[in-house]
Amino acid sequence: MNIYFTPDFINDLKYAGDKGFARLALNHVFNDNGEFKSDPDDHRYHGVKDA
């Protein structure tokens, strides 16, 4: 699966007032192996594989 980050998203991470914001945002989405975290309550498709 390819992942593309928009320039707006990158700028939001780069210029957030909190230096730890990028780490927090990415840790919310990715696990330690760089894979998407499985969180069925965090998506409108409720855990449908590859949704």
- Dump pLDDT digits (tens) for 1-45: 688 889 998 898 889 888 888 888 888 888 889 888 877 566 566
Alpha-carbon distance of 22 to 15, in angstroms, equals 9
Chain Cα centroid distance, residue 18: 17
Q: In the 8-state DSSP scheme, what is residue 5?
A: -
Alpha-carbon distance of 49 to 51, in angstroms, equals 6
In a domain, 41, yes or no: no
In a domain, 38, yes or no: no
Q: In the 8-state DSSP scheme, what is residue 8?
A: H
In a domain, 47, yes or no: no
Helix, strand, coil percentages (3-state) for the chain, rounded to 5, are 40, 5, 55
Q: Which structural domain, as residue segments, surrounds residue 26?
A: 1-32
What confidence score (pLDDT) does residue 29 get?
85
